[in-house]
């Protein structure tokens, strides 16, 4: 009984932390402005291809993709009609972030067990509808790669300005890669001093193999004094603990920096385990030297 109560308390605590990181009217203006900057960059990236559907993923777990997905959805909804889809049917969290029921959602709709109207939570915040993951199915990849998913995405584009999809990490399961072929582009999330160059490059190469457009990279967990390339993009800070009271998000697109000013590429010798990405002694230095343009693969014109 004690173990059960401890687990319940931990789940409640985790949910409260997730909600605390969601943008609200009380969020400091610099945080909101940083997300607006990311929104503008993505709108420019999608405009030439008339794109509406963005998939958000990362190389590994724990890099902030769900927080990024939810806050991007809230920001886009300030001037557009947005649908946020939790396609991480293995470890869903969107219902926790927004405080919603998860007894209905994507898995049940794709499986033909409930209508679309029942699967979507309307106006969770003004302008934003949320489709939670639903009950965990035995075959997430097959559902995401199904014809039902293709028809669904084509249909919702008639009713929404933007669709943002949160997915599992690319280097862990195939779900995001399977789904990436049905979207306009992919936004990758990487965490400073955690995501290694090796894993980030591996993720990009996987997406290139299936000819998917990488819209950009959001770098999370960057402390202000270590903030790399700060002259090229805005960052934001939010406080969620005393030990790490300032965290920043930065957005980079390929070709955003001059190749002549680049530093020598960091070595790829650290972070050999996806399940245990410990911080190396040179982590601060190596992450500051991450060449995101080169990893994404855009050449200077």
**Residue 227: pLDDT over 80:** no
> Per residue in 127-149, pLDDT tens?
999 999 999 999 999 999 999 99
Q: Answer whether residue 141 is part of any domain.
A: yes
pLDDT interval class at 230 (50, 70, 90)? very low
Distance CA 231, CA 20 (A): 28
Residue 243 sits in a domain whose CATH number is 3.40.50.300
CB 152 within 8 Å of CB 110? yes
Distance (Å, rounded) from C-alpha 252 to C-alpha 249? 10
Q: Kindly state whether residue 264 falls inside one of the protein's structural domains.
A: yes
Q: Per residue in 54-99, pLDDT tens? A: 999 999 999 999 999 999 999 999 999 999 999 999 999 999 999 9
Does 250 reside within a domain?
yes
Range list of β-strands (E), 243-294: 248-252
pTM for this prediction:
0.74
Instruction: List the structure tokens of 296.
Output: 């994404």
Question: CA-to-CA distance for 190 and 77, rounded, in angstroms?
Answer: 24
**Does the residue 135 lie in any domain?**
yes
Number of structural domains, the chain? Answer: 1
Say how far apart CA 126 and CA 293 lie, in whole Å. 35
Overall average pLDDT of the 167-182 stretch: 95
Q: Does residue 152 belong to any structural domain of this protein?
A: yes
Q: With H, G, I as helix, E, B as strand and everything else as coil, classify residue 125.
A: strand
Q: What is the pLDDT of residue 30?
A: 78
Q: pLDDT digits over 103-128, tens only?
A: 999 999 999 999 999 999 999 999 99
Query: What pLDDT sits at residue 235?
Result: 38
Q: Which residues contact 294 (CB under 8 A, 6 or more apart)?
A: 262, 265
Cα of 251 vs its chain's centroid, Å: 12
40 inside domain? yes
The reply to whether 301 falls in a domain is: no
Would 200 be classed as within a structural domain?
A: yes
Domain coverage including residue 165: 2-296
């Amino acid at each position: 009984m004690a173990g059960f109560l401890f687990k319940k308390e931990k789940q409640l605590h985790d949910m409260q932390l997730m909600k605390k990181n969601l943008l609200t009217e009380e969020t400091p203006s610099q945080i909101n402005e940083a997300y607006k900057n990311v929104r503008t960059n993505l709108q420019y990236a999608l405009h030439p291809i008339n794109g509406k559907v963005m998939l958000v993923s990362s190389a590994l777990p724990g890099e902030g993709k769900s927080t990024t997905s939810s806050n991007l959805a809230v920001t886009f909804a300030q001037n557009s009609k947005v649908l946020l889809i939790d396609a991480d049917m293995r470890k869903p969290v969107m219902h926790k972030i927004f405080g919603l029921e998860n007894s209905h959602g994507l898995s049940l709709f794709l499986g033909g067990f409930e209508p679309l109207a029942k699967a979507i939570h309307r106006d969770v915040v003004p302008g934003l509808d949320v489709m939670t993951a639903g009950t965990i199915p035995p075959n997430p990849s097959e559902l995401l790669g199904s014809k039902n998913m293709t028809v669904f995405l084509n249909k919702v584009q008639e009713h929404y300005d933007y669709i943002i999809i949160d997915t599992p990490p690319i280097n862990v399961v195939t779900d995001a890669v399977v789904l990436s072929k049905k979207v306009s582009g992919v936004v990758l999330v990487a965490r400073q001093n955690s995501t290694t160059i090796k894993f980030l490059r591996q993720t990009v190469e996987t997406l290139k193999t299936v000819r998917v457009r990488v819209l950009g990279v959001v770098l999370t967990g960057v402390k202000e004094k270590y903030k790399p390339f700060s002259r090229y993009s805005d960052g934001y800070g939010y406080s969620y603990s005393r030990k790490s009271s300032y965290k920043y998000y930065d957005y980079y697109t390929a070709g955003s920096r001059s190749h002549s000013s680049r530093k020598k590429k960091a070595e790829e010798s650290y972070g050999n385990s996806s399940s245990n990405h410990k911080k190396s002694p040179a982590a601060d230095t190596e992450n500051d030297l991450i060449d995101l343009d080169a990893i994404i693969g855009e050449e200077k014109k």
